[in-house]
Structure 1
């Protein structure tokens, strides 16, 4: 019984993340943009939120990387 539950949960997680990848692809997040902290974070968050993207959720991340001192 426990093995069956784990399999079902595993399949649901894979489907959830696949829907998130589809949402990110539809928003052209994989289209050769310059890689920055914000763009990587936005893509990751879009994938993790999965089907919630289709309910109107449009996650965005804003971050700044500290510049080295001169």
Structure 2
């Protein structure tokens, strides 16, 4: 049972990473900030839900260094 859950989890994350790649979240010309990093992470975690209409967008503000 553990093996099945592990395999399903890995497949879920691979599908999410593929969806993020198709949306261009791993391109080199993107700016890296809190918003883009969080959106990419949530897209990967959402997995196959990306292909049924889920389009997660996250907005956040990172603390500025003093």
Distance in 1 separating the partners of 2:50 and 2:57: 11
Once the two structures are TM-superposed, the CA of residue 34 in structure 1 deviates from its matched residue by 1.3
Q: CA deviation at 1:68?
A: 4.0
TM-score, normalising length from structure 1?
Answer: 0.87
- For structure 2, the residue ranges without an aligned partner over 5 or more in a row are none
How many residues are aligned here?
A: 65
State the alpha-carbon separation in 2 of the partners of residues 59 and 19 from structure 1: 15
Match of 1:54 in 2: 51
**Please, which of 11, 25, 28 is the counterpart of residue 24 of structure 2?**
28
> 2:39 maps to what in 1?
42
5+ residue gaps, structure 1, are none
Normalised TM-score (structure 2): 0.92
Give, in whole Å, the separation in 1 of the partners of 2:5 and 2:44: 17
